[in-house]
Amino acid sequence: MKTDCSSCASASGCSSSAALSGAPGSAAAQPATATLQRRRRWFQLSFFAVFLLAPALNLLRFDLTETQLWQLGFRWSLGIEAFMHGQASALETAWSITWRGIFPALTLVIAFLSVAYHFGRLYCGWLCPHFSLVETLNDLLHRASGKLSVWDKSPTPRPGRTTDKRWWPVFLVACLVFGFLWAITLLTYLLPPTMIWDSLLHGTLTPNQARFLVVGTLVFTLEFTLARHLFCRYGCAVGLFQSVAWMANPKGMVVSFTRERARECKTCDAPRGSACDHACPMRLNPRNIKRMMFACVQCGQCLDACDNTQTDQGRTATLEWKVGLDAVRETMRQRREEQS
């Protein structure tokens, strides 16, 4: 019997699921998941850079000093100002609002929800700058304490990793630096970036700008230090909408667990326990059923961990992708098993 659970990767990764479930110890199995994670890291790094540089390059920002939206290096307007000055008719203004406002917004929302409908929180696990920091800070904290969160009651074991308290200052400084970076980046989305950075370097920030940076840095630092997982699971509206769309699709991509081989999970990463449980950055059990995986960010780390540990022992992975009708069959089979 197989039980479906969520965790995965991208559409491109889905097409390579056969490689992930190859023969025991095959040369293709381990490199496939390793390549998947490298690709995901490149996506994260690229989008992180775009997130930081977008205001400076006028790719996307709203300038409060001009009450002006910038997109892709150009000033963007709905044409309302031209109508107010008698330079455009009501019909021309209505068409401008529809073509330049409503239509692009609907297209973006539909495209985003369509991806989420098929793949779940793909944006979270592959692009989101906040989640990129979650993984980075998780790693630093684990090096310092063996835990992925300050609220964990017990360490999360990882192969080849020993704790060193000297990493604590690195973790705390990283939280502070990223907190400040988040605050000033948010401010540059609202005010001219050159003005903000110049005022910061010369110590000429206005009282309101200084207060924004101080409060923002404090809030983000505390969030990165204490509640980064809680925000992703319970506080992020973007993630919530993706999960809701994904849950509504019985054919959405899931990860199937080969339940008849569940006994192998006890020895897959002995004596530490199940490798996939320790790999999930959202603290989920990847072998669970789909409805219990609402917060899965589709990062595929559970697949990577399962593939690596099982390959080391000459066995095939017990986690694999299922999509379309296969995903429906897995879901229905699990429901029948629960009701029996």
Range with top average pLDDT, 21-25, 68-72, 286-290: 68-72
> Is 106 inside a domain boundary?
no
In a domain, 128, yes or no: yes
What is the model's pLDDT at position 325?
67
Instruction: Choose the weakest-confidence range: 8-17, 252-261, 325-334.
Output: 8-17
Position 198 in a domain: yes
**CB distance 243 to 121 below 8 Å:** yes
pLDDT of 82 over the 80 cut: no
**What is the distance between the alpha carbons of residues 167 and 175, in angstroms, rounded to a whole number?**
12
pLDDT score, position 306:
84
Residue 155 lies in a domain: yes
| pLDDT, average across residues 82-103 | 80
pLDDT of 94 strictly over 70: yes
Residue 192 lies in a domain: yes
- Across the range 13-26, mean pLDDT stands at 38
In a domain, 325, yes or no: no
In sequence order, the 6+-apart residues with CB closer than 8 A to the CB of 338 are 289
What's the CA gap between 126 and 89, in Å, rounded?
Answer: 44
The domain of 187 spans 44-57+123-243
Residue 159 lies in a domain: yes
Average pLDDT over residues 236-263: 85
156 belongs to a structural domain: yes
Backbone angles phi and psi of 258, in degrees to 5:
-75, 95
Per the structure, the count of domains in the chain is: 1
In this structure, what token pair is assigned to residue 97?
């609002």
- pLDDT surpasses 60 at 3: no
Q: How many beta carbons lie within 10 A of that of residue 266, not counting itself?
A: 10
pLDDT band at 25 (very low <50, low <70, confident <90, very high): very low
Give the pLDDT mean for 152-171: 86
Q: What is the mean pLDDT of residues 137-156?
A: 90
Q: What is the per-residue pLDDT across 186-228, written as a single tens digit (0 to 9) for each?
A: 999 999 999 999 999 999 999 999 999 999 999 999 999 998 8
